[in-house]
Amino acid sequence: MKRILLTGNGAAAWGARLASVDYVPAFPITPQTEIIESLAGWIDNGEMEGRLVTLESEHSMITAAGAAAATGVRVFSATSSQGLLYGMEMLYTVAGWRAPFVLVNVSRGLSAPITLEPDHNDILAARDSGFLQLHCATCQEVLDTVLLAYRLAEDEQVRLPVLVNMDGFYLSFTREPVEIPERERVERFLPAFEPGSIRFRASAPESQAVAVLGGGPYFYFRYQTHLAARNALKVYERVAEEFEALFGRRHAVVEAYCCDDAEYLFVMMGSFATKAKAAVDWLRSNGWLIGLLRPRLLRLFPEAVFRCELAGRRGVAVIDQNLSIGAGGVLHTEVTSALYGQPEAPPVLASFIGGLGGRDIAPEEFYEMAEVIRKAAETGETPPPRLLYTETELRETRKLQAIAQVERRQLGEG
Amino acid sequence: MGWIRDELAHLNESVVGKNLEMALSAYDLMAEHAGIVSLTDDLSAVGWQHPDWIELPLEEAGISAPTIHAADTSEQLKTGLWRTMRPVIDYERCNRCWWVCSTFCPDGAIKVQEDGYPRIDYDHCKGCLICVAQCPPHAIAAIPEYLAQEEESSEEGV
Ligand code: SF4
Ligand code: SF4
């Protein structure tokens, strides 16, 4: 088996190549990534079959992806941040068509102000769209997850598009050793797409995604999409087991690291969770009973797994790399609602907002968070949400504001 | 080295050569460390420095909106690097209508000079070629950017 140094972008492209995708609609300009560039190169020089078509926007790209998937071919595409939002109308639409395909998102903080660094507000904006969501923490996981995502999307019991998320820069541009599985083995895991009931042909026209009035039918179709998404949990578990048997890597619905005897837990998703893992190791070497829970599957939301994993813990710190403006951390809200009324729910479930716009989370911040939840557990009172933002950072920002002020004065605006 | 060659195989020899050179010089820089790259010690989880977290105060929008109160910031940022095709004006053909190309350019990259002739600011022209399509006497040609650059560098070389 080949293990080479690949970026997250390279790993996503390899995933699509190994899945033998038939069609890749792509918006070719920023914020598009090297994923599409790699696929275009391979298709161009004959290393990969399939057809790549460039479109004038992510809105058209996602429309093309859904339309092609509705004809029963295997479709792949990729986008990032503003691009995902530009295609938002069609995300909801193609999910409603029940068109199965895989879309990789390279997470990046949203404008304004504009940034190039990652957080999860882009992908979470698509939370309610009907796309399933899988979140990756390593480059290997990106490749593996693209393969898993096709099995999930194309399953008769699911039939939904899937978003695979990786963090910009931290994964997309960072090389890690990645094992590229052999094609024969991938074909055993992921055979050619068997489109079953979706066969849209020019010779046999049909109407997809019809208009409905009166609420009743609308309700039915939307709720069916929801039920299909809920059904994806057991399908994911089965598929992940098959994956492990063939490739030896386990990708559980929720990764539980050092959780068995843990009294305290960090909960977070994406590549920054690897920082939490390191902090868990260091804290454990100092006698802490602490672990990390990292949801891979965010939609559907695996609340049963959370209930079970969090039961009986003394304190939990949910670290959100996102901010629902006017509310707070999205993951914290979801975990809290999963635990309401559960007899064994942890008494302390604290919310931390960190890592917005790619802002690092330092080891001492993890230690401090651990301290905060330990102290809170003594009184049983959950502290108010805490921003991981330092005095030093505010001072830096003040400098920039001072420059803006001077300029304003120069312009004679007081 | 073989790895760099593999990945850059589709580019020409001089690009591959430059990359190899850079990689080797970076490697040489590490020579004094005898190839040993050590990790910093794990930060001890006892007695660490507490982060100076603060509560961020609410400030009025006039201060807390991300605005730069200054003109011409985009002048200094050369966004013309994206261009794959370069519009080139043939001043023999240009009949100094003065307004068509300069008005249609979505980037404001065409300025009309005192003598009535337009000039393209290649530091900001994106190569969308709208000016090429709009010019009534077809006085603007589109040339692949790489050819234009090769020509420029050979002229400089002379
Ligand atoms: S549109 Fe054509 S003719 Fe008119 S000023 Fe521009 S280059 Fe000259
Ligand atoms: S190519 Fe486009 S950006 Fe460049 S000068 Fe012409 S119209 Fe303006």
Distance A206 CA to ligand 1 centre (A): 51
User: B54 and chain A: CB distance < 8 Å anywhere?
Assistant: yes
Separation between Cα atoms, residue A145 and residue A152, nearest integer Å: 10
**Considering only CA atoms, which of B109, B66, B62 is closest in space to residue B89?**
B109
H helix or E strand, kind and range, residue A289? none
Chain A positions touching B71 (Cβ under 8 A) are 411
Distance B127 CA to ligand 2 centre (A): 5
Structure confidence at residue A1 (pLDDT)? 63
Q: Which of residues 106-125 of A touch B (CB under 8 A)?
A: 112-113
Residues of chain A with pLDDT under 70: 1, 406-414
pLDDT in tens, B73-103: 778 888 888 899 999 999 999 999 989 999 9
Sequential DSSP letters for A323-371: -BTTTB-HHHHHHHHHHTT-TT--SEEEEEE--GGG----HHHHHHHHH
CATH number for A254-392 (one of 3.30.565.10, 3.30.1130.10, 3.40.50.920, 3.80.30.20): it is 3.40.50.920
In angstroms, what separates the C-alpha of B92 from chain A's closest C-alpha? 35
Nearest CA to ligand 1 atom 8: B94
Distance B100 CA to ligand 1 centre (A): 6
Q: Does B135 contact ligand 1 (Cβ within 6 A)?
A: yes
In chain B, the largest separation of any two C-alpha atoms, in whole Å, equals 78
Position of tokens 């994956």? A243
Phi and psi for A23 in degrees, rounded to 5?
-145, 130
User: B10 and chain A: CB distance < 8 Å anywhere?
Assistant: yes
ipTM above 0.85, yes or no: no
Separation between Cα atoms, residue B84 and residue B81, nearest integer Å: 8
B152, exposed or middle or buried, with CB in 10 Å at 0-12, 13-18, 19+?
A: exposed
Q: Does B98 contact ligand 1 (Cβ within 6 A)?
A: yes
Of A41, A112, A390, the CB nearest to B51: A390
Mean residue pLDDT of chain B comes to 87
Whether the Cβ atoms of residue A23 and residue A74 lie closer than 8 Å to each other:
yes
In angstroms, what separates the C-alpha of B43 from chain A's closest C-alpha? 7
pLDDT in tens, B9-19: 878 888 889 98
Please give the residue that has the higher pLDDT: either B65 or A193.
A193
Q: Which residues contact A147 (CB under 8 A, 6 or more apart)?
A: A15, A18, A19, A181, A186, A189, A190, A243
> In the 8-state DSSP scheme, what is residue A114?
-
Pairwise CB contact (< 8 Å): A387 & B42: no
Separation between Cα atoms, residue A287 and residue A308, nearest integer Å: 24
Separation between Cα atoms, residue A324 and residue A219, nearest integer Å: 27
Q: Does B130 contact ligand 2 (Cβ within 6 A)?
A: yes
- Return the domain boundaries, chain A: 2-194+210-247, 254-392
| pTM attached to this predicted model | 0.88
User: B32 and chain A: CB distance < 8 Å anywhere?
Assistant: no
Structure confidence at residue A412 (pLDDT)? 60
pLDDT in tens, B113-138: 999 999 999 999 999 999 999 999 99
Chain B positions touching A407 (Cβ under 8 A) are 68-70
In angstroms, what separates the C-alpha of A283 from chain B's closest C-alpha? 5
**Considering only CA atoms, which of A119, A120, A175 is closest in space to residue A142?**
A175
How many Cα atoms sit within 13 Å of B98 on the Cβ side? 6
Size of interface A-B (CB pairs under 8 A): 68
> Fold identical between A2-194+210-247 and A254-392?
yes
CATH number for A2-194+210-247 (one of 3.30.300.30, 3.90.1150.10, 3.60.70.12, 3.40.50.970): it is 3.40.50.970
Nearest CA to ligand 2 atom 3: B125
Distance A66 CA to ligand 2 centre (A): 34
Average pLDDT score over residue span B51-63: 90
> In the 8-state DSSP scheme, what is residue A158?
T
Structure confidence at residue A414 (pLDDT)? 44
Q: Does B139 contact ligand 1 (Cβ within 6 A)?
A: yes
Which own/partner pairs from B103-111 qualify as long-range (CB within 8 Å, at least 24 positions apart)? Answer: B104/B130, B104/B131, B104/B134, B105/B130, B105/B131, B106/B130, B107/B79, B109/B80
What SS3 state is found at A76? strand
H helix or E strand, kind and range, residue B133? helix B130-134
Average pLDDT score over residue span B139-143: 97
**Considering only CA atoms, which of B134, B132, B126, B146 is closest in space to residue B88?**
B132
Give the start-end residues of each E strand in A144-185: 162-167, 176-180
Domains and CATH numbers, chain B: 2-31 (no CATH), 65-156 (3.30.70.20)
Structure confidence at residue B123 (pLDDT)? 94
Chain A positions touching B84 (Cβ under 8 A) are none
Number of H helices, E strands in chain A: 14, 15
Query: Where residue B35 falls among pLDDT bands split at 50, 70, 90?
Result: low
Of B50, B66, B68, the CB nearest to A368: B50
Phi and psi for B44 in degrees, rounded to 5?
-65, 140
Query: Where residue B52 falls among pLDDT bands split at 50, 70, 90?
Result: very high
